[in-house]
Structure 1
């Protein structure tokens, strides 16, 4: 109820409306006063209508013509009673309409309040779901952070392994080159010695018939020595070739390992950079 509105204000407003030829209704009284809640105005207007009969009776007594005949006085009383009843019925109908409107408004407010409560429940549910999603997202983010740290550590380890393999590959390549150079040098030396022995054998065979036996013996010795040297060179060549095969196998394995680690590092680097 609006603070300050009184019964006297409502009754005065109702009298003013009647004096202006208008029926006093709740909305008209509120418009006349510029304030007042519908419930309060309705209640105070009921008091005004309840007192209207006594006021009309008093007005009738004042308006009675002195020494008027009894029939005229009775007729005047009946007229005032009828007018008061008609006014009361009209007002009651209007009040009933106002009350029906108030009930409708109250029902609409109740529906609106219920809708707001349901909306608040939905908002609370959505808030709880959002909080759960936020918690899950935080846990997921922590898992991703741990995964990034693990991948970063793995990347460092793979980088170190790749560097070690590259160092080993360089060392094997140097050893391979060294062995190849030594083998080529030994083959060159063996070829020169073989050529020298061949020339000596030919010179000995071409020597005089007097020294045929000695030449044959020397030739046989030279042939035996040449065969031994050839066998030794063949054995040495096979050993070096075996070493070359072994080194080539190790070099190929090392190159494959380096390529594999390099591929893994190249795969992990974009992931770490994105995270």
Structure 2
């Protein structure tokens, strides 16, 4: 309720309405004052109606008033009182109707509030259940998160361990690459030397053949000796070819070793040397078998 409304303000507003020929109602009083709750204005308006008769009686006993004027004044006040009473009854009926309508509205509003309260309580209960379910899900997810974190830690440890193994294997791979490059250089050197020897033997063979032809025409007696020397040179050429085949087998053995190392990715220096020695030994055996 707004502050500042008094009984005197309500009385003055009601008197002003009566003097203007209007019926003093709660709404008009509130409109005139610009404030005041309907209940407070209704209560103060009842007080004003109760004091109206007393104020009229006091007006009839005013001193020094001629009898005719007093009677006229009383008649005027009687008419005013009658009119005010009629207006008061009408205002009271309107106020009662307004109160009844307000009570009806309040009852309906109360029912609406009760329905809203029931819905709110149901929502609270449902929210409580949902919160309990959410708490359960949160605990389950927290357990899952802990499990995943443990798995993550284990995977990180495995990754670090595998990374260390990979670094070791990478270092061993680099070593094997260096050794392989060295062996390949040696093989190429041997191959180049063998090719040079073969070319030189071929050139010598050709020269010897030419010389043999010349000397056959010139020296028939030395044919047997030149033929023997020719056979000897052929043996040298065959030996050179066998040496070249030996080195080719050595190269093939090295390539097989590299392929095996790439497939297994488990380099072993001792195993590589063993395979190489076996390949060399096998090649040498094959070379010895080829000799006449």
Superposition TM-score, scaled by structure 1 size? 0.53
Deviation at 1:211, TM superposition (A): 2.4
Cα distance in structure 1, aligned partners of 2:184 and 2:92: 122
| Count, aligned residues | 215
Cα distance in structure 2, aligned partners of 1:33 and 1:96: 21
2:223 aligned with 1:216: no
Q: Unpaired segments of 5 or more residues in structure 2?
A: 69-75, 266-292
Contact 1:172 1:247 in 2 (8 A): no
- Describe how 1:229-240 pairs up with structure 2 within 5 A: 229-240=240-251
Cα distance in structure 2, aligned partners of 1:233 and 1:80: 150
Deviation at 1:25, TM superposition (A): 1.2
Q: Cα 1:20–1:240, aligned 2, differ >3 Å: closer, same or farther?
A: same
2:172 aligned with 1:182: no
Q: Unpaired segments of 5 or more residues in structure 1?
A: 67-75, 255-275
Q: Name the counterpart of 1:199.
A: 206
Deviation at 1:190, TM superposition (A): 3.0
Cα distance in structure 2, aligned partners of 1:175 and 1:253: 22
Cα distance in structure 1, aligned partners of 2:235 and 2:194: 20
Cα distance in structure 2, aligned partners of 1:23 and 1:230: 143
Q: Cα 1:172–1:37, aligned 2, differ >3 Å: closer, same or farther?
A: farther
223-232 or 101-110: bigger deviation = 101-110
- Describe how 1:42-53 pairs up with structure 2 within 5 A: 42-53=42-53
2:28 aligned with 1:34: no
Deviation at 1:220, TM superposition (A): 2.9
1:197-239 alpha-carbon deviations (Å, 9 max, x no partner): 4135425643433223333333333322322222122111232
Cα distance in structure 2, aligned partners of 1:234 and 1:221: 20
Deviation at 1:80, TM superposition (A): 8.8
SS in 1 for 2:243: helix
2:250 aligned with 1:243: no
- Describe how 1:1-275 pairs up with structure 2 within 5 A: 1-55=1-55, 86-100=86-100, 102-103=102-103, 168=174, 178=185, 181-182=188-189, 185-199=192-206, 201-202=208-209, 205-206=212-213, 207=215, 208-243=219-254
Cα distance in structure 2, aligned partners of 1:249 and 1:174: 16
Cα distance in structure 2, aligned partners of 1:209 and 1:225: 25
Deviation at 1:4, TM superposition (A): 3.1
Q: Name the counterpart of 1:258.
A: none
Contact 1:60 1:80 in 2 (8 A): no
Cα distance in structure 1, aligned partners of 2:180 and 2:22: 118
Once superposed, what is the RMSD of the aligned Cα atoms?
5.3
Q: Name the counterpart of 1:257.
A: none
Deviation at 1:23, TM superposition (A): 0.8
Question: Whose relative contact order is higher, 1 or 2, with alpha carbons under 8 Å and at least 6 apart?
Answer: 1
54-63 or 185-194: bigger deviation = 54-63
Deviation at 1:55, TM superposition (A): 4.9
